[in-house]
């Protein structure tokens, strides 16, 4: 009988349990430069009892940045900052993958090189979506610029260089961020992709950029140290598609052919991507829809309680479960889930930006007992 607390091997990486720390944007890097610091290293090391930590989304270029103070992986200073993180996580016995990110249209000119327009598959703004300017002012999403076909090879090259830099920083692997309405997801969905070249139109064409990016990461790391995150039925950042089952069945089947370490799929019930605390009821589950397309290790994310997570693994619905907000406020979440201990409540007002408050000051069970 498989449990949430049993070890698992994902590709080439052996994990101590099946509890994954989901990628969580926290906006706490050193400025200027978007450089990880010792505070970030402390935060991740506190959570090293997870089977796998997936870092907060990390931009592969300045063009890929969409929010202030998010980390990058495209400068020497950023690589050195991430070395602090990987060193501390490994010293604490943990495993950690870096999530490679390009936000596409979910940005603002103040965050872009030379104040340029953010880029997207097509010149379609994300309705009812927003971000922050470089000086932390809320802003709606403006009209993006459609990428020229000739520019796309440069985007793939930036992802590949990000993978190279992640290896130099000491990570155990990388996750390609193909979810939550950011650039690769924008190419996937026909609601945001109206292109007429080889990256638009058919499902095969719309999936091309995600798959070429995944292939680029595999060329650096090998297939056993590359994962991919997807959000079928995701609505965050104005995502929608006319046939999501066909789209993501194709994408997952292609990832299965590549033998990636894992597919990390957000449940349809959490289509708002953590922007709200509740789940959507009476929607199909990821495994129900897509398990047949992907035979490898499947990580499921989205509003799980400990009991639900245990049941999902026990029933073979998923191989591992990713937790987000619960990991923010419970650095020792695996121990709490295993013992049934009470969970610390999180403070949403400290999620984004700030200092140690709401970041590294949540108590562990050990600290409470002292």
Those residues of the chain that have pLDDT short of 50 are none
Instruction: Domain of residue 125: give its range.
Output: 8-369
Query: CA of 25: how far to CAs of 31, 57, 71, 178, 367, in Å?
Result: 16, 6, 9, 15, 26
If DSSP codes are grouped into helix, strand and coil, which group holds residue 351? Answer: coil
- Residue-level pLDDT at 266: 93
Whether residue 182 lies in the annotated active site = yes
- Residue-level pLDDT at 276: 55
In 3-state terms the chain splits into helix, strand, coil percentages (rounded to 5) of: 35, 15, 50
* Other beta carbons within 10 Å of 172: 23
Sign of CA dihedral 342, 52, 5, 297: positive
In-domain check, residue 3:
no
In-domain check, residue 154:
yes
In-domain check, residue 2:
no
- Residue-level pLDDT at 368: 67
* Other beta carbons within 10 Å of 116: 13
In-domain check, residue 164:
yes
* Other beta carbons within 10 Å of 361: 11
CATH number reported for the structural domain that contains residue 210 in this entry: 3.20.20.70
* Interatomic CA distance for residues 323 and 303, integer angstroms: 8
Cα radius of gyration (the chain): 19
**Total number of domains constituting the chain:** 1
DSSP of 47-60 = TTTSSEEEEEEEES
Count of residues in the chain: 370
- Residue-level pLDDT at 366: 84
Whether residue 97 contacts residue 52, with contact meaning beta carbons closer than 8 Å, is answered with yes
- Residue-level pLDDT at 234: 87
Dihedral of the CA atoms 118, 119, 125, 128 (nearest 10)? -60
In-domain check, residue 56:
yes
Task: Reply yes or no: is the peptide bond before residue 32 cis, omega within 30 of 0.
Answer: yes
Question: If you search the block for the tokens 């049993």, which residue do you land on?
Answer: 6
In-domain check, residue 365:
yes
* Interatomic CA distance for residues 43 and 362, integer angstroms: 10
In the chain, the N- to C-terminal Cα span, in Å, equals 35
Active-site pick, 43, 44, 67, 182: 182
In-domain check, residue 1:
no
In-domain check, residue 215:
yes
If DSSP codes are grouped into helix, strand and coil, which group holds residue 336? Answer: helix
Query: CA of 342: how far to CAs of 3, 17, 268, in Å?
Result: 20, 20, 27
- Residue-level pLDDT at 281: 62
């Amino acid at each position: 009988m498989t449990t949430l607390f049993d070890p698992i091997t994902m590709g080439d990486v052996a994990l101590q349990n099946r509890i994954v720390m989901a990628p969580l944007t926290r906006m706490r890097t050193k400025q200027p430069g978007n450089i990880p610091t010792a505070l970030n290293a402390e935060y991740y090391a506190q959570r090293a009892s997870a089977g796998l930590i997936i870092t907060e989304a990390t931009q592969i270029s300045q063009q890929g940045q969409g929010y202030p103070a998010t980390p990058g992986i495209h400068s020497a200073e950023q690589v050195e900052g991430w070395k602090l993180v990987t060193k501390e996580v490994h010293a604490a016995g943990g495993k950690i993958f870096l999530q490679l990110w390009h936000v596409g249209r979910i940005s603002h000119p103040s965050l872009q090189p030379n104040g340029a327009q953010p880029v997207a598959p097509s010149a379609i703004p994300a309705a009812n979506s927003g971000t922050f300017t470089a000086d932390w002012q809320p802003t709606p999403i403006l009209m993006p610029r459609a990428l020229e076909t000739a520019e796309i090879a440069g985007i793939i090259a930036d992802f590949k260089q990000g993978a190279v830099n992640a290896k130099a920083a000491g990570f155990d692997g990388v996750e390609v961020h193909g979810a939550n309405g950011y650039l690769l997801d924008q190419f996937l969905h026909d609601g945001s992709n109206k292109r007429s070249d080889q990256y638009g139109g058919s499902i095969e064409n719309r999936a091309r950029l995600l798959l070429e990016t995944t292939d680029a990461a595999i060329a650096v790391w090998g297939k056993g140290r590359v994962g991919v995150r997807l959000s079928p039925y995701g609505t965050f950042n104005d995502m929608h598609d006319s046939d999501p089952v066909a789209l993501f069945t194709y994408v997952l089947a292609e990832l299965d052919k590549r033998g990636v370490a894992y597919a990390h799929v957000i449940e349809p019930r959490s289509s708002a991507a953590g922007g709200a605390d509740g789940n959507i009821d009476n929607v199909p589950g990821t495994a129900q829809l897509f398990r047949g397309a992907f035979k490898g290790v499947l990580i499921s994310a989205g509003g799980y309680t400990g009991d639900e997570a245990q049941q999902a693994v026990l029933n073979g619905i998923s191989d591992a479960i990713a937790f987000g907000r619960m990991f923010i406020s419970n650095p020792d979440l695996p121990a709490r889930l295993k013992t049934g201990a009470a969970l610390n409540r999180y403070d949403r007002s400290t999620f984004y930006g700030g200092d140690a408050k709401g970041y590294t000051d949540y108590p562990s069970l050990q600290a409470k007992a002292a």
